[in-house]
Structure 1
Amino acid sequence: MPSSVSQGVLLLAGLCCLFSGSQPQDPLEMDVDEHDHDHKEHLLCYRVSYIIIQITFTLYHKSDSWSKQTNVLFSPLSIIASSLMLSLGAKNNTHDQILEGLNFNLTETPENFIHECFQQLTYILHLPDHTPQLTMDSSLFTDQKLKLMDKFVEDVRRLYHSKVIALNFKDTQRAQNQINEYVEGETHGKIGGLVKEMEADTDFALMNYIFFQGKWYDDFEVERIVEQDFHVNSDTTVKVPMIHRRGRFFLYRDLDLSCWVMVQHYMGDATAFFMLPDQGKVQELEKTLNQRHFENILQLIDIRTADLYFPRLSIATTYDLKTILSTLGITEVFSKEADLSGVTQDAPLKLGKAVHKTVLTFEDDVTVPTRNTSWSKRDSPQNFSIHFNRPFLFVIKDEYTNCPLFVGKVVNPVTND
């Protein structure tokens, strides 16, 4: 066996496009059988779903990747799915460290059960009523001369719906271009240049992407864009286009967290939680936020007629996934001690690079903003008015599996990575 160690690349891409166009039906008024989608027999295993939610909050609270002064955006489901795919080719301590880092106790939850649950999730996200609003896919790019283990290829195809694509990694520039073009095509042109530099000894790249495009169900009376102040912090204020809507919203005031919570249901079977803390209370909210709050929100949420002002935004983040996974104690796979012999026995492998890039856009059908802020003064006097004009947090989860698709924090709507 050669003494040199070949490298792999882990690539994660997330695209979340939220549209504010109204829909004719309220989800609470729809016929249950109509909205059932014949999913019930395919629901994701609850125990695995619960662990995914736990890992989501662990990542948000502990990762060194998130800055207090910048926007945060990542896809926990993509991070966990790609790590589990990698575990299919890992052996010995490398394998155990990945599963333990993801908080899976194999004495309570057998490994085959974990992967079968993700197989169900992947199946659900590929049903016609999810696509094209919501889907998750994977691709395995390998050097055309690298002989993969048959079991690994079969497992990633069957369990994670992954395609296997052969490239000539010896031509690093061409391989880089091919992967970037593929990612850009799969994310509708929104994510380009995912791979900035391809190492000469790279032999494979494992890519996972999640795509969500949803429209609000709510029926709005009006919609305008007005330019207003967004208070980044006590010292910084920026001008942003704010989408103004008037209608019925699912709102909840959490006194313990000192924040407003807005829940929105989207076409594409997803629900978004937008948490607007009081001025200066962002870090306090971050420290105390946990799974219990989301369980309480759905019980306490109320429908209120309100004037809503929400920033029209597009934010993007790029993270070194090594830092994120190290938060979970997953480190060996990046070292020379990595055992990925379940992927191939041609040469020793390690994960040399891992990139996670996510894009969130909040769009609307109004294209001409106005600087006349008199609209805010014309709010109906009996309507409650809420302005997302300061840093806020959000979680977007799949309705049927309960898994978090995207998690983030908007600190400044006019900055990107």
Structure 2
Amino acid sequence: MKPISCLFFFFFLIGLHVHCDHLSGHHDDQENDGNSTEHQHPPLAEEQGNKTTKCHKIAPSNADFAFTLYRQIASDGAGKNVFLSPLSISTAFAMLSLGAKSETQTQIHKGLAFNLSEFEDKEIHEGFHHLIHMLNRPNNKAKVNIGNALFIEESLKLQPKFLEDAKTLYDSEGFSSNFQNTAVAEKQINDYVENKTHGKITHVVQNLDPNTLMVLVNYIFFKAFWENPFNTQSIREEDFFVNANTTVKVNMMFQRNYYKFLHDDNLNCSVVEIPYKGDASALFILPDEGKMQHVEAGLVKEHLSKWEKTFKYAEVRLYIPKFSLSTSYDVKDLLQRLGVTHVFGHDADLSGIVEEGKLVVTKAIHKAVVDVHETGTEAAAVTVMTMVGVSAFTSPPPVFRFNRPFLFLICDKKTYSILFFGKVMNPTEK
């Protein structure tokens, strides 16, 4: 049987429209800056030494933003599944802030949880630059691809510095687009996204406004195999208790193996860390009965570091359902609630992007898909289970049965980054 892995795909879109002045003419460098410009990554060896701390410096702010954004989304529907990449959203808006000025820039940085008394603008962008390169490292068995692109109206004159910084700091590709022909522009963007997400996100852009001047895309793709694969033969149909009144049938994966785990008495939840091959791991968080809202309200980045120090490592009986989620969010609404308002209205100052005229962000969309499976019938699953079984004679191992709503995070351990954040309320709802 062909092995099945965990796949995560994200798309973030910003549509920029003219706000007042009509923009005309053609950029002298449009042929070079607007058409595809595959930017060469400098070798990672050039970014070692004291530069390795740059992505770590922005990690706490990115984590704060992740938890704050999650709570905003969860508050909109307590009974709904949640799945997003806060890192995709923060990267896209950080790149946009290259061209933001005055209060518009300040609001973006504050909304992304950057304390402006601790960060210079340059440090934020250098942090993301280093983070992008660390996540894209080719030798990681947990595959992560993150990137950015600008689709630019043919007549739009961009500030050369914005283009250069977008390429240099965010490895952004640039494409010349004709938004007057919306069908062609939509196909161009959709084909790009489909290619970068390996076919998992298609036709994401529809009904483009012909007045669009630029579309900014950030994508992140993740593919990894469990370090200890689940055995297909151990999957059983079991009940999942959505709430007191609703029970659904799920395909429950099972494994008896050694994992890091704990129970947080203050937060009222159990946590199991499930490692992937490579430098990534998943944290599965099971709130105690009736404590989901308590966990959601209290979960902060400090818990992650505390758990890392207090984890036990022992044999456990682990039950996790197979599930697939697909979500879509209006990021404009979410960020406005976080105080990022100027960039979406009459007060927008994105003068660092264009040479003349005024731009405003009119749409910000985030789409996400996740599939969590077993990895087929790899021998490693059987071998590991046999070894584990031999050692368990004195007392039964603890049981972690994720058969009611739970949270999960996917983390990159090298950069201390939360790549993905989700809540499974009903694993049978796609």
Same fold (TM > 0.5): yes
Please give the residue correspondences for 1:6-405 in structure 2 after superposition, counting only pairs within 5 Å. Answer: 41=50, 42-63=52-73, 66-130=76-140, 133-218=143-228, 224-366=234-376, 382-405=396-419
Tell me the distance in 2 between the aligned counterparts of 1:2 and 1:204.
13
Instruction: Mark the runs of 5 or more structure 2 residues left unpaired by the alignment.
Output: 1-17, 24-44, 378-388
Match of 1:408 in 2: 422
Identify if the C-alpha distance between structure 1 residues 200 and 147 changes in structure 2 by more than 3 Å, giving closer, same or farther: same
- Contact 2:254–2:320 (CA<8 Å) still a contact in 1? yes
1:100, CA displacement in angstroms? Answer: 2.4
Q: Please say which of residues 181-190 and 341-350 is displaced more in the overlay.
A: 341-350
1:388, CA displacement in angstroms? Answer: 0.7
Q: What does the per-residue CA deviation read over 1:264-296, in whole Å, with 9 as the maximum and x for residues that have no partner?
A: 222341122110112221111111111221111
Q: Please say which of residues 78-87 and 101-110 is displaced more in the overlay.
A: 101-110
Tell me the distance in 2 between the aligned counterparts of 1:139 and 1:409.
29
Tell me the distance in 1 between the aligned counterparts of 2:48 and 2:370.
27
Identify if the C-alpha distance between structure 1 residues 152 and 131 changes in structure 2 by more than 3 Å, giving closer, same or farther: farther
- Contact 1:212–1:268 (CA<8 Å) still a contact in 2? no
Q: Which amino acid aligns with 1:358?
A: A
- Contact 1:184–1:192 (CA<8 Å) still a contact in 2? yes
Q: What does the per-residue CA deviation read over 1:179-212, in whole Å, with 9 as the maximum and x for residues that have no partner?
A: 1121111111111222232112111100001111
Identify if the C-alpha distance between structure 1 residues 205 and 275 changes in structure 2 by more than 3 Å, giving closer, same or farther: same
Q: How many residues align?
A: 375
DSSP 3-state at the match of 1:88: helix
The percentage of aligned residue pairs carrying the same residue is: 39
Q: If the length of structure 1 is used for normalisation, what is the TM-score? A: 0.84
Tell me the distance in 2 between the aligned counterparts of 1:83 and 1:188.
24
- Contact 1:233–1:280 (CA<8 Å) still a contact in 2? no
Tell me the distance in 2 between the aligned counterparts of 1:49 and 1:159.
17
1:103, CA displacement in angstroms? Answer: 3.0
1:347, CA displacement in angstroms? Answer: 3.0
Tell me the distance in 2 between the aligned counterparts of 1:308 and 1:147.
57
Match of 2:381 in 1: none
Q: Which amino acid aligns with 1:389?
A: N
Instruction: Mark the runs of 5 or more structure 1 residues left unpaired by the alignment.
Output: 7-35, 368-378
1:413, CA displacement in angstroms? Answer: 0.7
- Contact 1:220–1:248 (CA<8 Å) still a contact in 2? no
Q: What does the per-residue CA deviation read over 1:314-339, in whole Å, with 9 as the maximum and x for residues that have no partner?
A: 10110001112113211111112212
Match of 1:31 in 2: none
Q: Which amino acid aligns with 1:385?
A: V
DSSP 3-state at the match of 1:365: coil
Root mean square deviation of aligned Cα: 2.5
- Contact 1:230–1:237 (CA<8 Å) still a contact in 2? yes
Tell me the distance in 2 between the aligned counterparts of 1:104 and 1:408.
23
Q: What does the per-residue CA deviation read over 1:303-322, in whole Å, with 9 as the maximum and x for residues that have no partner?
A: 22222211111101100011
Q: Please say which of residues 341-350 and 80-89 is displaced more in the overlay.
A: 341-350
Identify if the C-alpha distance between structure 1 residues 354 and 272 changes in structure 2 by more than 3 Å, giving closer, same or farther: same
Identify if the C-alpha distance between structure 1 residues 323 and 64 changes in structure 2 by more than 3 Å, giving closer, same or farther: farther
Tell me the distance in 1 between the aligned counterparts of 2:285 and 2:141.
28
Match of 1:32 in 2: none
Q: What does the per-residue CA deviation read over 1:249-278, in whole Å, with 9 as the maximum and x for residues that have no partner?
A: 221112222221001222341122110112
Identify if the C-alpha distance between structure 1 residues 303 and 226 changes in structure 2 by more than 3 Å, giving closer, same or farther: same
Identify if the C-alpha distance between structure 1 residues 131 and 187 changes in structure 2 by more than 3 Å, giving closer, same or farther: farther
Tell me the distance in 1 between the aligned counterparts of 2:19 and 2:71.
41
- Contact 2:348–2:359 (CA<8 Å) still a contact in 1? yes
**Bigger helix fraction:** 2
DSSP 3-state at the match of 1:413: coil
Q: Which amino acid aligns with 2:323?
A: L
